[in-house]
């Protein structure tokens, strides 16, 4: 799949999500997010959230509706993988963990059998 096709699919998903989650601004407390440290998490509901931990170790998971947010990766074990077939992914580093959670050494992305949900979802795009 071409990058332009992926962008169209992502835009469609964001717009669909936005329609479902429309809320009135008057019904909420607002605060600027700039400079907030948190984690981008992929949930068991197959959605991304931005998790912000409080000092008491509780957290808030924010649904992400922002469609073009600037991101800086600050994790030592994050690695970009670029495959010969044109696919590119971001995952844990082999060197840091011994083995990636989503990429199997010696196998092409998406060809190894198993229950790797990330690969299945990525291949659908």
pLDDT digits (tens, 9 = 90+) for 44-61: 888 889 999 999 999 999
What global pTM score does this model have?
Answer: 0.57
Same domain, 12 and 40: yes
Q: Are residues 30 and 10 in contact, defined by beta-carbon separation less than 8 angstroms?
A: no
Residues 11/62, Cβ–Cβ less than 8 Å = no
Instruction: Establish if 47 belongs to a structural domain.
Output: yes
Q: Does 11 reside within a domain?
A: yes
Query: Mind listing the pLDDT tens digit for each residue in 85-119?
Result: 898 988 888 765 455 455 555 444 444 444 455 55
Please name every residue paired with 52 in a beta bridge, in sequence order, or none if there are none.
60
Residue range(s) defining the domain that contains residue 103: 78-120
72 in a domain, yes or no?
A: no
Shared-domain flag, residues 84 and 59: no
59 with 14, same domain? yes
Nearest to 38, CA basis, from 62, 56, 20: 62
């Amino acid at each position: 799949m071409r990058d332009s096709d992926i962008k169209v699919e992502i835009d469609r998903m964001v717009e669909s999500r936005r329609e479902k989650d429309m809320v009135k601004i008057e019904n909420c407390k607002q605060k600027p997010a700039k400079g907030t440290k948190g984690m981008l998490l992929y949930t068991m509901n197959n959605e991304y959230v931005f998790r912000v931990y409080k000092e008491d170790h509780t957290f808030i998971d924010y649904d992400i509706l922002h469609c073009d947010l600037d991101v800086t990766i600050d994790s030592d074990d994050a690695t970009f993988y670029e495959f010969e077939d044109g696919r590119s992914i971001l995952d844990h580093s082999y060197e840091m963990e011994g083995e990636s959670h989503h990429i199997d050494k010696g196998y092409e992305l998406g060809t190894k059998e198993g229950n790797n949900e990330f690969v299945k979802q990525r291949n659908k795009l």
